[in-house]
Amino acid sequence: MPDASAKPKTEAINNNSDAIKSTPTMQNASVENKSNKSVVEKIGEGQKEKPAERTKMDIATEIYKQMMKTKGVTRKEVLEKFILEAKLSKAGASTYFQLIKAAQK
């Protein structure tokens, strides 16, 4: 049977309470290094804006429009060109073909 006069083991937790109080929180965190400058201002200070890269959809759309100008072009031929030039997988090329075809109507 446990001794009723034994102290609970909560003393170790109470001794380390200073470490918890000194942990930074949103209320006591320092904000002196924060800047309110917008992205546009930072770009103007020497950071160059990354040029807009063409997406796979952009490339595939251009291919589709060019190839559809020619009579007798098959879906399979368009998909092969998507895979080679737009770096699409077979499934991706098929999906892009359907999406572009629907958007062109």
Token reading at 19? 């470490």
Contact 64, 97 (CB under 8 A): yes
Report which of 47, 80, 50 is spatially closest to residue 63, judged by C-alpha positions.
80
pTM over 0.75: no
pLDDT digits (tens, 9 = 90+) for 56-91: 999 999 999 999 999 999 999 999 999 999 999 999
Token reading at 69? 């100008």
**Rounded average pLDDT over 36-65:** 74
Report which of 55, 73, 70, 65 is spatially closest to residue 100, judged by C-alpha positions.
65
pLDDT for 12 beyond 60: no
More confident residue, 16 or 75: 75
Give the confidence band of 52 by pLDDT, cuts at 50, 70, 90: confident
